[in-house]
C-alpha cells in the first residue's frame, strides 16, 4: 500500500507552476521563497533569466530600494515557488559570481 504521506510520482506536482493540471487557486495560495539575494537589480534579473531558461518561474523583488534609488540601502531578492526552491538553489550555486 502506498504511503499517504509521500507524493504519488505518477500524479502532477501541484507546486510546479508550469503544470497545466494545476488550478489557478493553488497558484494563488502558493508560497514564494527566497533563493538568492543580490545587491543590484541587474544581477537579480540575470538569475531570474537563468532560472527561466531552466523552466523555473522566478521574480526579482526589491529593485526599487537596491542601488539607493529610494535613498535606503537594500538587496534584491530572487523568489521562486516553494516546490522549485531546491532546484533553483542548485542552479544558482553553479553560477560563477563576479564580485
pTM strictly above 0.85:
no
| 11-25, 32-46, 61-75, 81-95: range with lowest mean pLDDT | 11-25
Q: What CA–CA distance (Å, rounded) separates 74 from 84?
A: 25
Q: What CA–CA distance (Å, rounded) separates 33 from 15?
A: 12
More confident residue, 96 or 98: 96
Segment 19-67, tens digit of pLDDT: 554 555 566 678 999 999 998 889 999 999 999 999 999 999 987 665 5
Q: What domains, with CATH codes, occur in the chain?
A: 30-93 (3.30.70)
Amino acid at each position: 500500500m502506498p504511503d499517504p504521506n509521500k507524493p504519488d510520482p505518477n500524479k502532477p506536482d501541484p507546486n510546479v507552476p508550469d503544470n497545466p493540471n494545476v488550478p489557478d487557486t493553488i497558484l494563488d495560495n502558493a508560497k514564494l521563497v527566497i533563493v538568492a539575494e543580490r545587491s543590484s537589480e541587474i544581477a537579480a534579473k540575470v538569475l531570474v533569466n537563468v532560472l527561466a531558461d531552466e523552466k523555473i518561474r522566478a521574480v526579482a523583488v526589491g529593485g526599487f530600494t537596491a542601488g539607493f534609488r529610494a535613498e535606503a540601502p537594500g538587496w534584491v531578492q530572487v523568489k521562486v515557488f516553494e516546490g522549485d526552491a531546491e532546484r533553483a538553489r542548485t542552479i544558482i550555486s553553479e553560477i560563477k559570481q563576479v564580485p
